[in-house]
Chains A and B, each alone.
Chain A
C-alpha cells in the first residue's frame, strides 16, 4: 500500500537560511509525487510535482525537490527562506490510473527573523 512519511513534525529556521524538508514514500512502482503548502486559514496550494524525467523539479516560490528512487525520497529544498514561507508543508504520493493522493502528516515550518 502507498504511504508517505514526513519525519519532522516541526522545523524552525532563521530567515535567509537554507531549508530541507524530508519526505519518504512507499509505493510499488514509479510514483507521482507532490508537495503542497498550507498557510494558516487557507487550503493547500501545489508547490511542485514529479511525474517522470529530470529528478530535480522546480516549483513556485523558489522551491525545488529531488526524487531519489534509491532512497524512496522526495525532499523539498529552498536555498534562502523568507518569513512568508512559514506554513505547513505536505508531501503526497499517487500512482496508477486513479488520483487517490496519499498525504503525509505534514511539517510545520516556523521562520525566525
Chain B
C-alpha cells in the first residue's frame, strides 16, 4: 500500500467541465508536489508546496489551480482544460524540501480531456 493516495484513478472530462484531483499522504511529510506525465515526455514538475505554502509554480497555465489546506492534503482543481492536458497526474511527497529527501509517489490520476 502506497503512503500517498490519489483519487480518482481515472477521470474523463469535457473541456467545459470543472473537476478536482485529490492527493493524501499518510507519511507525515512536509512537502507535496504535482507532476504531469505525458507520453514520450519527461516528468514535468507543476507545483510544490512546503508546510502548506506554495514554493513553486512551474509556469503552469491558470486552468490548473492547486490547493493545499494542510501538509497531508493536496488538490488540483481543473477547469476549461484542453485535449493536450490529457496525461497522468502524479502527486508526490517528501519529508522536507531538500536534495536528499526522496519523493514518494502516488499511483496517479489518468486524465482524459475530450
Chain A residues with a Cβ under 8 A of chain B = 31-32, 34, 36, 41-46, 49, 51, 90, 94-101, 103-106
Q: What A residues does B104 contact at CB under 8 A?
A: 46
B65 at the A interface (CB under 8 A): no
Q: Mark B1-34, 1 if CB is under 8 A from A, else 0.
A: 0101010000000000000000000000001000
Find out whether the CB atom of B41 lies under 8 angstroms from the CB atom of A105.
Answer: yes
Rounded to whole angstroms, the CA-CA distance of A43 and B37 in the bound complex is: 10
| Closest A residue to B91 using CB positions | A43
Rounded to whole angstroms, the CA-CA distance of A106 and B38 in the bound complex is: 12
Please report which residues of chain B, range 78-114, place their CB below 8 angstroms from some CB of chain A when the two chains form the complex.
90, 92, 94, 96-108
Rounded to whole angstroms, the CA-CA distance of A12 and B82 in the bound complex is: 35
| Closest A residue to B45 using CB positions | A100
Find out whether the CB atom of A44 lies under 8 angstroms from the CB atom of B103.
Answer: yes
Q: Which of A41, A43, A49, A99 contacts B105 (CB 8 A)?
A: A43
Interface SS of chain B: helix, strand, loop or mixed? loop
Find out whether the CB atom of B90 lies under 8 angstroms from the CB atom of A43.
Answer: yes
Q: What A residues does B100 contact at CB under 8 A?
A: 32, 49, 51, 94
Find out whether the CB atom of A34 lies under 8 angstroms from the CB atom of B102.
Answer: yes
Q: What A residues does B45 contact at CB under 8 A?
A: 100-101
Find out whether the CB atom of B42 lies under 8 angstroms from the CB atom of A99.
Answer: no
Q: What A residues does B60 contact at CB under 8 A?
A: none
Q: What A residues does B101 contact at CB under 8 A?
A: 99
- Would you give the shortest CB distance from B28 to chain A, in whole angstroms? 16
10 contacts between A and B (CB under 8 A): A32-B100, A45-B105, A46-B103, A49-B100, A99-B31, A99-B94, A99-B101, A100-B48, A100-B56, A105-B41
